């Protein structure tokens, strides 16, 4: 089964994140893998969440009973992605040798965009509808989940969006609002069910909440500590997330 094209391009553009999979395979835990990679535990999970979202299948599986109370290992799909990364490493070495001058590499670096948006969800365009000067774009995320984006008609044309186009939906964590049981979603917003996977408390600001959607893709949101305490939010809590379609940015491979 071929890898999703967006994940394949991500591997080529950001190999340091895929290299984390090798550390997981070697170390057997996220904590030790992060240390071996020289990054924080949080940064390691952020990278894994992004890869899982783009792959559509978990690349890393948690396992019980490891040192420190639990461990992690690569799933069969993760092992396959790691093999692809290793092949790309060899190709990358050949490309560096073939570069005519250092400015060639600088040019490629400028063309490969990174984004500050914490949430990157792979989806497929399943609907296009005009609404005045805007287009409402329906995106299927998999397993029956669907969200909508509102973008300008010029953006639709520039991105050459058509039914079936594979895209990445970008959403800043600060644009995602959490809803507890009994709280009503605002009319017109995207609203999805989610399960809390982790809460990172901050001493001087909102806490960061990692959430799993029904299809396995991950979202990151912020919430005030008082709200989390009021609704007794902890790992395993079931919430809903909402965000306006105009907050959803759409990206496609260059």
When pLDDT is cut at 50, 70 and 90, the band that residue 254 belongs to is low
53 φ/ψ angles, rounded to the nearest 5 degrees? -65, -40
pLDDT tens column, 153-176? 999 998 899 999 989 899 999 999
Domain ranges of the chain: 5-111, 115-254
pLDDT, residue 66, reads: 46
Quick one: CA torsion of 87, 93, 98, 104, rounded to 10 degrees? 100
How far is residue 245's CA from residue 136's CA, in Å, rounded to a whole number?
8
Domains 5-111 and 115-254 share a fold: no
Tokens matching residue 157: 């044309």
196 forms beta bridges with 211
Higher pLDDT among residues 230 and 205, named by residue:
230
In this structure, CATH architecture of domain 115-254: Beta Barrel (2.40)
CATH of region 5-111, choose from 3.30.450.20, 3.30.70.1060, 2.70.98.50, 1.10.10.10: 1.10.10.10
Is the pLDDT at 229 greater than 60? The verdict is yes
The rounded distance, in Å, linking the Cα atoms of 17 and 11 is 8
pTM of this prediction exceeds 0.75: no
């Amino acid at each position: 089964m071929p890898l999703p094209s967006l994940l394949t391009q991500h591997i080529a553009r950001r190999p340091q994140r895929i290299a984390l999979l090798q550390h997981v395979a070697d170390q057997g835990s996220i904590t030790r893998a992060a240390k071996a990679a020289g990054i924080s535990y949080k940064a390691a999970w952020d990278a894994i969440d992004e890869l899982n979202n783009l792959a559509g299948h978990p690349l890393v599986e948690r396992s019980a009973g490891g040192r420190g109370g639990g461990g992690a290992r690569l799933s069969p799909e993760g092992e396959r992605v790691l093999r692809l990364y290793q092949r790309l490493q060899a190709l990358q070495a050949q490309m560096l040798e073939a570069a005519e001058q250092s400015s060639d590499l600088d040019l490629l670096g400028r063309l490969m965009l990174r984004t500050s948006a914490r949430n990157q969800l792979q989806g497929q365009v399943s609907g296009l509808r005009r609404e005045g000067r805007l287009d409402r774009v329906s995106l299927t995320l998999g397993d029956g989940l669907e969200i909508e984006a509102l973008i300008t008609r010029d953006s639709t044309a520039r991105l050459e969006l058509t039914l079936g186009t594979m895209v990445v939906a970008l959403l800043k964590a600060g644009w995602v609002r959490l809803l507890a049981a009994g709280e009503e979603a605002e009319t017109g917003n995207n609203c999805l069910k989610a399960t809390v996977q982790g809460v990172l408390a901050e001493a001087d600001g909102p806490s960061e909440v990692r959430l799993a959607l029904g299809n396995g893709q991950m979202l990151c949101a912020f919430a005030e500590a008082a709200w989390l305490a009021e609704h007794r939010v902890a790992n395993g809590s079931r919430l809903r997330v909402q965000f306006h379609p105009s907050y959803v940015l759409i990206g496609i491979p260059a």
